[in-house]
Amino acid sequence: MSAMAASAQTPAEPKVGLRERKKIKTRTAIREATYRLIMEQGYDATTVEQIAESAEVSPSTVFRYFPTKEDIVLTDEFDPILERELRSRPADESLIDSLRHVIDDSLHLALESDDPEVSRLRTRLQVEVPAVRSRMMESMSVTGDLMCRVIADRTGRDAGDLEVRVYAMALVGAMMEATMYWAQHDHEGELRDLVMRALDTVQHGL
Amino acid sequence: MSAMAASAQTPAEPKVGLRERKKIKTRTAIREATYRLIMEQGYDATTVEQIAESAEVSPSTVFRYFPTKEDIVLTDEFDPILERELRSRPADESLIDSLRHVIDDSLHLALESDDPEVSRLRTRLQVEVPAVRSRMMESMSVTGDLMCRVIADRTGRDAGDLEVRVYAMALVGAMMEATMYWAQHDHEGELRDLVMRALDTVQHGL
DNA sequence: TAGGAAATGAGAGTTACTCTCATTTCATGG
DNA sequence: CCATGAAATGAGAGTAACTCTCATTTCCTA
């Protein structure tokens, strides 16, 4: 989930032809160009045209790889990891405990898979740039859906139940708030600890 | 909070000169034109130019009144009501109980202040149109800030505390989920009841 | 190595939004 | 009641993020 400053690395190997390798290269080239330009000039001042030029592709191609400019910064692939890890936990464990374990085990995957500076840039943009923030919140609802499915499978409830959705939203929202808090406080301390505190709050209230 | 399909009526009386009255008129003219066109053609097919023409103003004026197209649909003034009502509750009441009372007392204000069809259209757009949804989520964080301030005043904690923010986000998110659930289920039943169930979930978990 | 599919590039078009400047419309003090 | 200033509007040009289409290149595979 992008809400967690997750990795921006590219998916995995469907078929390792030249074609696929090139696509991955292009993808990361675009992303790296974007990060570089944004660090130099800021988000708004960086146009897709510049990104394209710097990544040595055409603007058309940029939009083929990423539906929107915000997505270049935000797209992450932590959701599948999250889902896999959650499902690998014992089914009788409470979801929130599972989450704690997964965060404990896998958060570093998300954070370390690319330059730490990039993680920090991304979380900062999530806080500072409205367009990025709203896109992130969009993606929050995707992660929320994921969470709903996990809950549904575990409890036998319907994934569309209001209660299920509210609970999922609370969990995902908590993780997102922890991430934003981290960014707002100059990334001091461990994100993991903040997430734990956030989850505690969901569980026990204030 | 727009998350609750709140009223789209215009603020209040700063100075009732001709000028102010005209401004209010223009504002609602734009909004009504927008609703009309969207009902006829859908959101995406409706351009700001059409809205301007239909409201008999220039496109420039539309943007003077609303920063973005989504805002024409979303802007609401329930936040101040919410804050006022929350603060009028006894300070030793738990926030969630206060919220229950306020919803009970004031939700109808938000829903009935305009054509019920408009309320329904608005909530539907929040679910269906990505741009509107993300704008709504943006406004969710504004309402969240409001909630943080209320919590801070009541408990003496800092409004920026992670725990406070997480809790506020859970409450606001719960109300929003209730609203979306309502829209997704063709506005059957009472929104109020859904909100109550959502708040219960925040309080007691699943 | 030829044929087909996938990826790319080029370019035109749409639309939301911004800025500037001239014009109109209202408020108000003399 | 009108003149002066301020606020609101309109007109128009400009930007940039997308979208679509079509021709071309690049790779895969039989």
Q: Does A181 touch chain B (CB under 8 A)?
A: yes
Which H helix or E strand runs over B193? helix B191-204
Lowest mean pLDDT among A57-66, A72-81, A92-101, A179-188: A72-81
pLDDT of residue B4: 59
Top-confidence residue, A169 or A3: A169
Tokens of B31: 């909004």
Average pLDDT over residues A194-205: 97
Q: What is the pLDDT of residues A12-66, one digit of tens each?
A: 445 578 789 999 999 999 999 999 999 999 999 999 999 999 999 999 999 999 9
Q: What is the pLDDT of residues B134-152, one digit of tens each?
A: 888 888 888 999 999 999 9
pLDDT surpasses 70 at A91:
yes
Protein residue ranges contacting nucleic strand D, Cβ under 7 Å: A 15, 17-20, 22, 46-49, 59-60, 63, 67-70; B 19, 22-23, 26, 56-58, 60-61, 64-65
Nearest to B49 by CA among B34, B35, B39: B34
Half-sphere exposure at residue A166, Cβ-oriented, CA atoms within 13 angstroms: 28
DSSP track, chain A: -GGGT--------S--SHHHHHHHHHHHHHHHHHHHHHHHH-STT--HHHHHHHHTS-HHHHHHH-SSHHHHHH---HHHHHHHHHHTS-TTS-HHHHHHHHHHHHHHHHHHSS-HHHHHHHHHHHHH-HHHHHHHHHHHHHHHHHHHHHHHHHH---TT-HHHHHHHHHHHHHHHHHHHHHHHTTT-S-HHHHHHHHHHHHHH--
Residue of B nearest to A182 (CA): B162
Q: How far is CA B155 from CA A76, B142, B171, in A?
A: 38, 20, 16
- Stretches where chain B sits below pLDDT 70 are 1-15, 113
Task: Answer yes or no: do A134 and B135 touch at CB < 8 A.
Answer: yes
pLDDT of residue A12: 43
Work out the number of other CB atoms within 10 angstroms of the CB of residue B56: 11
Lowest mean pLDDT among A73-82, A120-129, B181-190: A73-82
Q: Where are the beta strands (DSSP E) in B39-145?
A: none
Please, is B87 exposed, middle or buried when counting C-beta atoms within 10 Å of its C-beta (0-12, 13-18, 19+)?
middle
CA distance A179 to A172: 11
User: Residue for token digits 């943006």?
Assistant: B138
pLDDT of residue B8: 44
Nearest to A130 by CA among B113, B201, B67, B41: B67
CA distance B142 to B148: 10
pTM listed for this prediction = 0.87
pLDDT surpasses 80 at A198:
yes
Nucleotide showing the shortest C1' distance to residue B72 CA: C16
Nucleotide showing the shortest C1' distance to residue B25 CA: D8
CA distance B179 to B195: 8
Confidence of residue A108 (pLDDT cuts 50, 70, 90): confident
Tokens of A102: 């997964």
pLDDT of residue A101: 95
pLDDT of residue A148: 96
Q: Which of residues 150-169 of A touch B (CB under 8 A)?
A: 151, 155, 157, 162-167, 169
Q: What is the pLDDT of residues B60-87, one digit of tens each?
A: 999 999 999 999 998 777 888 899 999 9
Top-confidence residue, A2 or A172: A172
pLDDT of residue A7: 44
Q: How far is CA A79 from CA A30, A172, B117, in A?
A: 22, 11, 37
